[in-house]
A = this chain, B = another copy of it.
Amino acid sequence: MSDLPVRVRIQEEGPREGFQYEKGAIPTRRKIELIDRLAQTGLDHIQIVSFVNPKLVPGMADAEDVVRGITPRPDVAYTALWLNDVGFKRALAVGSLAIEGSITLAASAAFLKRNQNRTLQEQLAAQHAIVRLYKQHGVAIGRGSIMAAFGCNFEGDIPIARVVDLVQQQRDIASEHGVTLQYILLADTMAWATPLAIKRMLGVLRAKFPAVEFALHLHDTRGMGIANAFAGLEMGVTRYDSSVAGLGGCPFAGHKGAAGNVCTEDLVFMCHEMGIETGIDLDALIDCAQLAEDIVGHSLPGSVMRGGNLQTLRNATKSA
């Protein structure tokens, strides 16, 4: 009936996506509390902070303190986001993080200008420069990322051909520097994708680049996140970014309301119910989602944390 995978890999981004987005200061110890709890759920990849300008993103001014405060587990990769070499050097300096290099392009010039104040050409040049920097520091470069791959609030629809071109550019940058990308992440940064758009995009990309693995970063701003993830699963995509409780949203994307990533526990629930393994304990994750709501002090978009795990109901009806 479809290409549903047997197992998916989920990269948790709630702490980074969420705490940079929330208004008002969240105590550092509470950020640490959530990260340490998430690390006990079976999640093996957690993006915990971003090293960005504290004047622009004050919620991340304590990034170093957060990294130093957690109790790291050896089976979990704790990662960080940065947008330039200043941020990268902060990430290196703090120690104990899994430093993962990436080549990041954007499908929308208008978004790139707002997000990083660069033109497309400046972004290309910056990627060559940062790859050189990564290599100097012995940092592996596993990921290509394409922001705004499905559409842009400031520029409109993104043609599939442009994304094909960007994938080729990323591969060219990588091969010029003797690097092999593990996968390419398509980010629906401003929530323009529909399940049909996901299928069409991945259909073309799989045909053009049969050897490349693709991953999805899906924002849920218009309620399509889980449906888009399902479409990705049907196209054989095995890597997803997500945020516990649906925390987060990009501070430069310019939209209102719930703008976070697709919700981790809702995604895990869907996978488990469809027989797809994640390696994650759903009940423990639901506890983390409720903790996240307690930390931010308002309700978050996740559904399963309220609707409940069906496996719990199944067990109850069997023992009744």
Which residues of A are in contact with B by a Cβ distance under 8 Å? 1-2, 4, 151-157, 191-192, 194-197, 199-200, 203, 220-224, 226-227, 229-231, 255-259, 263, 266, 269-270, 273-275, 302-308, 310, 313-314, 317-318
By beta carbon, the residue of chain B nearest A1 is: B199
A-B contact pairs, 21 of them (CB 8 A): A1-B196, A2-B199, A154-B317, A156-B317, A192-B310, A194-B273, A196-B273, A197-B274, A221-B303, A222-B308, A222-B310, A223-B263, A223-B269, A224-B266, A224-B270, A226-B227, A230-B231, A255-B307, A256-B307, A257-B307, A258-B307
Instruction: Give the copy number.
Output: 2
Question: Are B156 and A307 within 8 A (Cβ)?
Answer: no
Decide if B227 touches A270 in the complex (CB within 8 Å): yes
Question: Shortest Cβ distance from A257 into chain B, in angstroms?
Answer: 3
A1 touches which one: B203, B229, B255, B270 (CB < 8 A)?
B203
Chain B residues with CB under 8 Å of A255's CB are 306-308
Q: Which of A154, A229, A266, A273 has the most CB of B within 10 A?
A: A273
User: How far apart are A184's CB and chain B's nearest CB, in angstroms?
Assistant: 22
**Contact in complex: B257, A194 (CB < 8 Å):** no
With contact pairs A314-B156, A317-B154 given, residues A306 and B257 touching in the complex (Cβ less than 8 Å):
yes
Chain B residues with CB below 8 A from A222, complex form: 266, 269, 303-304, 307-308, 310
Q: Which residues of B contact A258 (CB under 8 A)?
A: 303, 306-307
| Chain B CB within 10 A, most for which of A199, A203, A227 | A227
- Smallest Cβ-Cβ distance to A262: which chain B residue: B223
Is B156 in contact with A270, judged by CB distance below 8 angstroms?
no
The residue that A308 contacts in the complex, of B154, B197, B224, B256, with Cβ under 8 A, is B256
Q: How far is the CB of A242 from chain B (nearest CB, A)?
A: 12
**Closest chain B residue, CB of each to CB of A192:** B310
A259-B307, A307-B259, A308-B255 known; A270 vs B154 contact (CB < 8 Å): no
